[in-house]
Structure 1
C-alpha cells in the first residue's frame, strides 16, 4: 500500500472510525413490504447476486413503477430465478469525489453548490463522505448526514497539481468496504481531466477488476467537465470515465458548461432513489472467472432501457 493510500486511511482512523462492517443484503419477497431476512451478498461462495437497476424511457425519464414480472435476469445466457425484488427508496452509503486539481479552480464554487444540492435531493437517511483529490486524495469528511459538515469539507479548496481520480476511487472503495452501514453504495465522481497523478500508477483494467470483485458492488456516477481545448486528453479521459462507470452499471455525463452540473446532480439523486433492487442465487455456483449479467424487460416494459452492472468475477 502506497504512502498516499496510507494517508487517506489513517485520516479515517484518526477520526475514530475503526472497525469492520459485515456486508449483507436484506432479502424481501416481492414489493409489498413483507418481513425481511438477512442473506449474505454474493461474492464467490456466498448466496445472492444483488443488482441495483435503473429503467428509463427513450427520453431518459426514469420509469419507477414496474413489477417483478417485467424483469428477467440472465447469467452467462442462463435464466436465473429472481429471489428478491424491491422498488423502495432505501438509504445509501455515498462518497462524493471532487477534483481539486489546478484546472478546477474556477469551477469549484459551482461544483460544490451542486454537490450540496445532490445531498439535499437524496434520501435524508443516506450517509455521505467527501473526498477532494488532486495529486493525492483526502478524506475531508467521513460519513455524515450533516449538511454543514459536508459544506465545510467541500470548501477546503486548494486547487493545484494533477488529477489522481483512479487513486481516489480505489481508496474510496476501501473506505466503503470498511465503514459503510448501508447495503446500497454509490460514488459520485466529478472531474475535469484524465488521471495523470495516481501514485503508485494504477492500471485502469486493475481498478475495474477491483470494482467487479467487491463484496457489495458500488455504482459509480461520473460527471466529466472536459476541455474542448485539450481534445486528445479529453478523449482519453472520456474513455476512462465511461469504462469505469459502465463496469459498475453507472452513467457518465459530459456537460458543456459547469452550469449544467447542478441539474445533473439532482437528476442523479432522483435516479438513485428510484432504482429497483433485484437479486438471484446463481444456478452455477462452481464456475470461476467473469460472469456476464443481462436483464431483459418483458411485455409492455420491453420498450424501455435498462441499466445495471454488466457482471462480476466469481472466485
Structure 2
C-alpha cells in the first residue's frame, strides 16, 4: 500500500516514470500512523509511467469485464436528473459502445473523510467537522464512512461506520500540528476503500488548507495509484483563502486539487470563506446522490492492452446542451490493493 507524495512549490508534474519511492506510511487504527508494509512501487498495470494521453488528462484503470461509470449530468450549472438510458451514448476510443446496465438511484456509497490536521487548520476544524458531518447526514442512510486525520502522518480515527456519533468522535481528534502529507493520506485512504469498503461506489472527500509539503511520493504517483485502483471519485475542498500562502503556493495547491478531482470524475471547490464550507458539503452530497451509473462491455477484446479513452454524451428533446462529468478512461486490468496493516 502506498500513501505519500510531494508537490510543495514544484512545477506542474512531469509525465515521467518516478524513482522507486521509500516505504510510505498504511492506515492503521487507534492513532497509529499509516505505514506501507510492502514498499512496492505504484506502477501502472502496463508497466508504463503515469502519463497524459494526448495531453488531455490522466487515465484510470478498471476491470474490462464490465466498465462502470458514475456520471453527473449538467445543463449549465443545474443537475439533470430526468434522463433515461436512451439519452446516453458511451464511446471508447471513438467507438460507440452498447450500454448493458443503467441506474439512476441513490446507491449507497463508501466514503472516506480525509481532513487536514496540520497546524494551520486549528481554527478551521470546528467548521470543517460540522460540514463533514452534515455531508454524511445528507447522504444515503446506508452509506458507510471512515475518518482520516492527517498532518505529516495520516491516522485513521474512525473505521467504517454509519453511526454519525462515532464519526463525530473520529473528527474530534484535533491535534493541529506539523506539515501536510496530503498525498500520503489520499493514497492510503484509496487503498483502504478498495480493501475494506462494502459498497462498490466509492468516494473520497478531501479537505485541506494548503499544498503538500510532507509526503514521500509525487502528485504523479498519487494519481497513478488511484488510477490503478479504478477510483475512487475524489471531491476536494481547498481552503486557500487568507494570507498564509503566497500566490505561487495557492496556484500549485489549487492545480493539485483540481487534478485529483477532475481526473477521477469529482469536483474541486475553493470557498472564499469558512462560511461557504457547509454549503459546499451539501453540494457534494447532492452530487453523489444524483449520479447515473452506466455499465458496458468493451467492444475490444480483453487481451488487447493499452489505455482506452472513454467519453459519455447526453441528449434529450427539449433540453439544452448537456455536459457529462465522469472519469476519462481506463486500462483493461488492475491489481488488487492489499489491506492496511495493523500495528502490533
TM-score by length of 2: 0.78
Q: Which position in structure 2 is the counterpart of 1:113?
A: 130
> Would you say 1:159 and 2:176 are equivalent positions?
yes
DSSP-derived class of the 1:248 partner: coil
DSSP-derived class of the 1:65 partner: coil
DSSP-derived class of the 2:89 partner: strand
Distance 1:274 1:299 in 2: 17
Tell me if the contact between 2:100 and 2:296 (Cα under 8 Å) persists in the aligned partners. yes
Q: How many residues are paired up?
A: 282
DSSP-derived class of the 1:124 partner: coil
Distance 1:152 1:12 in 2: 13
Distance 2:297 2:31 in 1: 35
Distance 2:198 2:266 in 1: 21
> Would you say 1:224 and 2:243 are equivalent positions?
no
> Would you say 1:269 and 2:251 are equivalent positions?
no
Q: Which position in structure 2 is the counterpart of 1:34?
A: none
> Would you say 1:182 and 2:202 are equivalent positions?
no
Aligned runs of 1:1-315 on 2, under 5 Å?
A: 5-6=25-26, 8-9=27-28, 43-44=62-63, 46-58=64-76, 60-198=77-215, 201-214=216-229, 216-229=230-243, 230-285=246-301, 286-300=303-317, 301=319, 303-315=321-333
Question: Which is further off, 297-306 or 257-266?
Answer: 297-306
Tell me if the contact between 1:99 and 1:132 (Cα under 8 Å) persists in the aligned partners. yes
CA shift digits 1:118-173 (9 cap, x unpaired): 00000000000000000010000000011111111111100011111111010011
Tell me if the contact between 1:72 and 1:295 (Cα under 8 Å) persists in the aligned partners. yes
Distance 2:166 2:156 in 1: 13
The structure with higher relative contact order (CA 8 Å, sep 6+) is: 2
Distance 2:223 2:213 in 1: 17
DSSP-derived class of the 1:125 partner: coil
Deviation for aligned residue 1:246: 1.0
CA RMSD of the aligned region, Å?
1.9
Distance 2:99 2:144 in 1: 29
Unaligned runs of 5+ in 2: 3-21, 33-60, 334-344
Deviation for aligned residue 1:9: 3.5
Deviation for aligned residue 1:62: 1.3
Distance 1:228 1:153 in 2: 27
Distance 2:228 2:135 in 1: 28
Higher strand proportion: 1
Distance 2:191 2:113 in 1: 14
DSSP-derived class of the 2:250 partner: helix
Distance 2:171 2:79 in 1: 29
Distance 1:128 1:288 in 2: 35
Distance 2:132 2:193 in 1: 19
CA shift digits 1:18-60 (9 cap, x unpaired): xxxxxxxxxxxxxxxxxxxxxxxx835x4100000001221x2
Q: Which position in structure 2 is the counterpart of 1:35?
A: none
Distance 1:252 1:78 in 2: 30
Q: Which position in structure 1 is the counterpart of 2:47?
A: none
Higher helix proportion: 1
Tell me if the contact between 1:296 and 1:302 (Cα under 8 Å) persists in the aligned partners. no
